[in-house]
């Protein structure tokens, strides 16, 4: 089954160069070299599988019971009964723990768990030499046998658990949750079951609305069961793509048939279109590889969910994951890393996001590229701030120096009173040079220049400035005009 599990779209590792200097890197980022070539998926099928994989779960159903031939009364299973575990697949269609799978995976009837127990009995009878044709034997059991529990007519014991691989401490880890059946359509009448697991913030898939057109490409995703083995220890979902070959109706329920080969274990797994939307779930595969495969239509799934008041929906992190994938496959690894970071922030155990994030980093993406730009901007801002401060201080200092020097160049000296200081010189007790300077100032020239301020226009001397208090008011600072100061020789 080389085709299964081999479709992982996570790219191979690329050399990673450590940055020696964050600042250098930050500056270099401004002049970054062209991005590495895009990690293009092999095609829409791989893209769709990459989209679907986080929401595909392993549905493991354990059955315990006995089989009784109602005609002869013979009970098969000995004292301990049969333990049968049936692996299936499922798809999360609501982040709050709602999983959809095929009902024949969880149904107790002959087409479900009862049938699995029949198979166990038939296998045991075969060893005892009591089976002629196994297929006919199975049919005989379907007709005249019943699977039951610890006592006659008691139900068989069924344990459903949903498994997925999560990211924990940088390592893949299986998260196993018990599941209950919320609702189902019998295997012969739709083959859909809705399960609930005590988990939240699960990765979910979008449920399609329209049946896929005949001839369109779809991808089946699930956990194929290797003969005699459990699914991959790391639970890597496999995928197979094919084309829709027919749409049909069975007992009023719509089904589609498609050309992707599926095997036991993938039952209940989603069939997605090239946009990653669920168009159906794999229905009734056999132990053999089979094609075409039948898929329950999305409309049937939607109806079951609707009857239970469950809404098929995806979460923001699912959208972020989709965006990250798009960015990753477009070669925008920096953006992809940021998107996957957003996914991981909301869902820290999102394994695929962690894998793709790692892959994006290995391809040159930087988790801190956004911060790098901020750092650069910060440095520039700081430099500008310091420069402005320096210029401002320089200008102030220069102005002071100029004023001091101009005091010796009458008649152009101007009022030395700095902005905000009192017009009257303030004795400082250390020579009172201010007083001297103030007295030496040619006030008329100052006034002329002051009134020539563009803001003032052609204001006549003595006239109040527009928007300013009248200069004629007693006590106003302009009284100095009436007190001409002696000029320095």
Partner 1 sequence: MNDSPRLPGRSAIAALFTVAVCALLAAATLIVVIVAGGTRPEPGPTAAALVSPSPTPRSAASRAAGPPMCLIGSWHTVEDTSMVTFYSDVPPLRFTGGGRDYEFHPDGTGVERQDNVALTSSYQGRELKIVANGHREFTWTATDRAITYSSFTTTAMTWDYYDQGRLISSQTAKAHSEVDDYTCQGQALSESSATGYRSTWTRTSSMGMYG
Q: Binding to partner 1 (CB under 8 A): which residues in 165-194?
A: 166, 168, 175-178
DSSP, collapsed to helix, strand or coil, labels residue 163 as: strand
- In whole angstroms, the minimum distance from the beta carbon of 434 to partner 1 comes to 16
Of the ranges 99-107, 253-261, 325-333, 444-452, which one interacts with partner 1 (CB under 8 A)?
A: 444-452
d(CA 162, CA 93): 14
Site for partner 1 contains 80 (CB under 8 A): yes
Choose which of 419, 430, 460, 467 interacts with partner 1 (CB under 8 A): 419
Q: Binding to partner 1 (CB under 8 A): which residues in 191-230?
A: 198-201
Which residues face 388 on adjacent strands?
none
d(CA 307, CA 17): 55
User: Could you tell me if 208 and 278 are in contact, meaning their C-beta atoms sit under 8 angstroms apart?
Assistant: yes
Whichever of 129 and 486 has its CB closer to partner 1, that residue is 129
d(CA 108, CA 147): 8
- In whole angstroms, the minimum distance from the beta carbon of 327 to partner 1 comes to 18
- In whole angstroms, the minimum distance from the beta carbon of 1 to partner 1 comes to 28
Omega of the bond leading into 37 within 30 degrees of 0 (cis): no
Site for partner 1 contains 440 (CB under 8 A): no
Buried b (16+ CB within 10 A) or exposed e, 129-145: eebeeeeebbebbeeeb
Choose which of 13, 136, 423, 468 interacts with partner 1 (CB under 8 A): 136
Whichever of 168 and 236 has its CB closer to partner 1, that residue is 168
| Residues contacting residue 401 through CB under 8 Å, at least 6 positions apart | none
Whichever of 149 and 172 has its CB closer to partner 1, that residue is 149
- In whole angstroms, the minimum distance from the beta carbon of 150 to partner 1 comes to 4
Choose which of 42, 395, 404, 463 interacts with partner 1 (CB under 8 A): 395
Buried b (16+ CB within 10 A) or exposed e, 297-314: bbbbbbebbeeeebebeb
Whichever of 247 and 403 has its CB closer to partner 1, that residue is 403
| Residues contacting residue 187 through CB under 8 Å, at least 6 positions apart | 102, 103, 104, 107, 109, 111, 112, 284
255, HSE (Cβ side, Cα atoms, 13 Å): 23
Site for partner 1 contains 262 (CB under 8 A): no
Site for partner 1 contains 19 (CB under 8 A): no
Whichever of 378 and 487 has its CB closer to partner 1, that residue is 378
- In whole angstroms, the minimum distance from the beta carbon of 178 to partner 1 comes to 4
Choose which of 32, 123, 233, 374 interacts with partner 1 (CB under 8 A): 374
**Number of residues engaging partner 1 in binding (CB under 8 A):** 84
- In whole angstroms, the minimum distance from the beta carbon of 139 to partner 1 comes to 8
- In whole angstroms, the minimum distance from the beta carbon of 426 to partner 1 comes to 19
Omega of the bond leading into 411 within 30 degrees of 0 (cis): yes
Q: Binding to partner 1 (CB under 8 A): which residues in 45-74?
A: 62, 64, 66, 69, 72-74
Give, as one character, the DSSP assignment of residue 53. Answer: G
**Residue 180 burial class via C-beta count within 10 angstroms: exposed 0-12, middle 13-18, buried 19 and up:** exposed
Buried b (16+ CB within 10 A) or exposed e, 321-360: bbbbbebbbebbbbbbbbbbbbbbebbebbbbbbbbbbbb
Site for partner 1 contains 381 (CB under 8 A): yes
Choose which of 125, 236, 247, 459 interacts with partner 1 (CB under 8 A): 125
Site for partner 1 contains 81 (CB under 8 A): yes
Give, as one character, the DSSP assignment of residue 227. Answer: T
DSSP, collapsed to helix, strand or coil, labels residue 276 as: coil
Site for partner 1 contains 447 (CB under 8 A): no
Choose which of 189, 445, 447, 485 interacts with partner 1 (CB under 8 A): 445
Whichever of 20 and 80 has its CB closer to partner 1, that residue is 80
Whichever of 287 and 392 has its CB closer to partner 1, that residue is 392
d(CA 125, CA 132): 10
Whichever of 191 and 434 has its CB closer to partner 1, that residue is 434
Site for partner 1 contains 459 (CB under 8 A): no
Whichever of 89 and 296 has its CB closer to partner 1, that residue is 89
Whichever of 46 and 334 has its CB closer to partner 1, that residue is 334
What is the number of other CB atoms lying within 10 angstroms of the CB of residue 88?
Answer: 28
Choose which of 229, 286, 311, 378 interacts with partner 1 (CB under 8 A): 378
Q: Binding to partner 1 (CB under 8 A): which residues in 269-298?
A: none
Whichever of 27 and 414 has its CB closer to partner 1, that residue is 414
- In whole angstroms, the minimum distance from the beta carbon of 314 to partner 1 comes to 15
Site for partner 1 contains 414 (CB under 8 A): yes
What is the number of other CB atoms lying within 10 angstroms of the CB of residue 8?
Answer: 16
Please give the C-alpha separations between residue 389 and each of 120, 382, 399, 420, in angstroms, as whole numbers.
86, 10, 15, 20
Q: Which residue matches tokens 């089946």?
A: 220
Site string for partner 1, 328-367 (x = CB under 8 A): -------------x--xxxxxx------------------
Site for partner 1 contains 485 (CB under 8 A): no
Buried b (16+ CB within 10 A) or exposed e, 416-431: bbeeeeeeebeeeeee
């Amino acid at each position: 089954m080389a085709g299964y599990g081999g479709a992982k779209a996570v790219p191979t590792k690329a050399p990673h160069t450590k940055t020696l200097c964050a600042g250098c890197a930050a500056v270099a980022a401004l002049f970054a070299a062209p991005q590495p070539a895009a990690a293009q998926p092999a095609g829409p099928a791989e893209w769709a599988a990459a989209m679907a994989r986080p929401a595909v779960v392993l549905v493991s159903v354990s059955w315990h019971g006995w089989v009784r031939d109602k005609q002869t009364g013979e009970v098969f299973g000995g004292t301990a009964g049969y333990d049968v575990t049936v692996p299936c697949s499922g798809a999360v269609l609501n982040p709050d723990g709602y999983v959809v799978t095929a009902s024949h995976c969880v149904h107790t009837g002959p087409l479900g768990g009862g049938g699995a127990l029949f198979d166990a009995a038939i296998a045991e009878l075969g060893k005892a030499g009591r089976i002629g044709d196994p297929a006919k034997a199975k049919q005989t059991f379907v007709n005249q046998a019943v699977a039951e529990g610890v006592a006659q007519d008691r139900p068989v014991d069924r344990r459903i658990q949903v498994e997925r691989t999560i990211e924990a401490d940088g390592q893949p880890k299986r998260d196993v949750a018990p599941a209950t059946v919320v609702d189902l359509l019998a295997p012969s009448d739709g083959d859909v079951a809705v399960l609930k697991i005590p988990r939240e913030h699960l990765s979910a898939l979008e449920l399609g609305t329209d049946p896929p057109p005949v001839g369109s490409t779809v991808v089946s995703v699930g956990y194929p069961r290797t003969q005699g083995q459990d699914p991959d220890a790391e639970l890597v979902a496999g995928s197979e793509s094919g084309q829709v070959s027919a749409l049909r109706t069975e007992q009023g329920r719509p089904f589609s048939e498609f050309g992707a080969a599926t095997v036991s274990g993938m039952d209940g797994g989603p069939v997605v279109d090239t946009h990653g939307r669920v168009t159906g779930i794999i229905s009734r595969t056999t132990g053999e590889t089979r094609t075409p495969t039948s898929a329950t239509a999305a409309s049937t799934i939607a109806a079951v969910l609707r009857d239970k008041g469950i809404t098929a929906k995806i979460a923001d992190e699912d959208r972020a994951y989709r965006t990250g994938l798009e960015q990753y496959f477009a070669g925008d690894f920096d953006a992809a890393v940021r998107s996957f970071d957003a996914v991981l922030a909301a869902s820290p155990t999102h394994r695929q996001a962690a894998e793709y994030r790692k892959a994006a980093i290995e391809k040159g993406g930087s988790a801190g590229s956004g911060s790098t730009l901020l750092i650069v901007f910060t440095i520039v801002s700081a430099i500008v701030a310091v420069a402005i401060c320096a210029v401002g201080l320089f200008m102030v200092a220069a102005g002071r120096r100029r004023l001091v020097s101009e005091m010796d160049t009458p008649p152009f000296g101007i009022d030395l009173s700095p902005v905000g200081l009192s017009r009257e010189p303030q004795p400082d007790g250390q020579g009172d040079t201010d007083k001297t300077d103030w007295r030496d100032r040619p006030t008329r020239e100052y006034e002329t220049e002051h009134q020539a301020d563009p803001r003032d226009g052609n204001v006549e001397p003595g006239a109040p400035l527009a928007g300013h208090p009248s200069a004629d008011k007693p006590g106003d600072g302009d009284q100095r005009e009436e007190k001409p100061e002696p000029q320095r020789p």
